[in-house]
Amino acid sequence: MSDSADLPKAEEEEEVTQDLQDQSDDSSEDEEAAGTEMDFLRNLFSSALGLGSAEKVLDALTLEGVAQYIKSGKCKNIICMVGAGISTSAGIPDFRSPETGLYANLQKYDLPYPEAIFQVDYFKEHPEPFFALAKELYPGQFKPTICHYFIQMLKDKGILRRCYTQNIDTLERVAGLEKDDLIEAHGTFYTSHCVSFCCRKEYSLEWMKEKIFSDAIPKCEKCKSLVKPDIVFFGESLPARFFTCMKMDFPRCDLLIVMGTSLQVQPFAGLVGRVSKSCPRLLINMEKAGEADPMLGMLGFGGGMDFDSDKAYRDVAHISTCDDGCLALAELLGWKAELEALVKQEHAQIDSKNKKEQPGEAGGSKDSSASVKPEE
């Protein structure tokens, strides 16, 4: 392995960002689209011609096989890809679940269609529905789940390369991950900016929180334009850091763990095909996701997941809630007691902090169904 593979993440980002700083977000997205097409063609021709290696790393395509691989010490650059499913046990709804999902419960906002609440043009004309929803889901009202703390444990043990999240609830940060550990692909509530291109003044999480909970539409103190949290709406570009880090991280990945996502939204979903052919991929989800097109999968083409075919050699599906899956994996790794103690300790600290900040109130972070019960 070259020396560049051992560079700290921050130094690698700085080098790549310096090289790419003159490129616009549009060019990044154009490159990504072209790169995805090229990856598909490479996979197509290499599979057809029998080129490239597809080394089998796991002894068994089971959760036990994944645990054994981690325990072998060969696993040093784990990437986690996570979606709304890792936060549902904290009380935050996902987007697409029938009846309970976010899109299924937006009738009260009188939208022309559910997705309008996250569209830039609609937001600029009618910001009220978004901020009403933001008040319900605002960061600070929820506790991280077992799954969030499992990811933090991977970092503590020195084997987490990075966590790529579709979530905007900031619970990864609350659980202990820092900016360098995270790619918030769909943005974050952590910062906000004025929507005016001539201004773009930045505002903090606390500033935005004060506006939202006083039922005021956040307006820029400098130019009086709307202020929007830095989450990615439909019609907006993904953060440039998503593209720069993606090119560094996935070629180095030696285990990809995908949790709580339907893998339906591009370009995030396409990341599963960017790891090497030998890299094992574990899905922890309530249903299988990210599978290759059946016809192409039979031919071994494309980068989608292959759990069941005769050609399957690296993809593992563990069908359960994200919390249960992480607990099961932690138990196989011998980390379960440590994980449960971490969750209990961190939730107690959050409760204590909330009591100090809100004296005499019964409020605070909402209890997560992921809280660990004391051992009998």
Annotated binding residues? 84-88, 94-96, 166-169, 194, 199, 220, 223, 261-262, 285-287, 322
Helices 205-213/128-137 angle, 10° precision: 110
List all residues 6 or more positions away from 301 whose beta carbon is below 8 Å from its beta carbon.
40, 43, 44, 47, 48, 292
Cβ–Cβ < 8 Å for 44, 256:
no
Query: Residue positions in the annotated binding site for Zn(2+)?
Result: 194, 199, 220, 223
Q: Of 126, 148, 186, 318, which is the active-site residue?
A: 186
How far is C-alpha 239 from the geometric centre of its chain's CA atoms?
13
Q: Give the whole-angstrom CA distance, residue 82 versus residue 122.
A: 28
Which 3 state secondary structure label does DSSP give 99? coil
The residue behind tokens 């300790």 is 345
Q: Is 186 a catalytic residue?
A: yes
Alpha helices for the chain (secondary structure H):
9-20, 25-49, 63-71, 120-125, 128-137, 146-156, 171-174, 205-213, 240-249, 294-299, 322-333, 336-357
Cβ–Cβ < 8 Å for 314, 279:
yes
Residue 290's region, left for phi above 0, alpha for psi from -120 to 50, else beta, is left
Q: Are strands 187-194 and 227-231 parallel, antiparallel or unpaired?
A: antiparallel
C-alpha distance from residue 201 to each of 187, 212, 236 (Å): 17, 18, 18
Backbone angles phi, psi at 28, to 5 degrees: -65, -40
How far is C-alpha 28 from the geometric centre of its chain's CA atoms?
20
Query: Residue positions in the annotated binding site for NAD(+)?
Result: 84-88, 94-96, 166-169, 261-262, 285-287, 322
* Catalytic site positions: 186
